[in-house]
Amino acid sequence: MPSPLDRAAYRRANWVGGVAQSHDEAAELEVEFWMHATPAERILGVTQLVEEMRTLGNPHESPARLQRTVGGVRPRRG
């Protein structure tokens, strides 16, 4: 595990931050952030938000999963 100093150095080198002076400015910065994100980063962001919302809804419940009855692997017919 990296030391606190190593983690701080990594953050300084890779993270970008700032302060918005209003809600409107924050909204503009958010749109700009997502417009520059790759499709994979967007999907990851949405997936993480969905998981977080489910956890906040009921932290004692396990995350929802796809039901096996919906699909699955079966031999081809014919």
pTM confidence score:
0.50
pLDDT in tens, 34-66: 999 999 999 999 988 888 887 777 767 776 666
Average pLDDT over residues 3-20: 89
Give the pLDDT confidence score for residue 32 in this predicted structure: 92
pLDDT at site 70: 58
| 62-77 core/surface letters (b: 16 or more CB in 10 A; e: else) | eeeeeeeeeeeeeeee
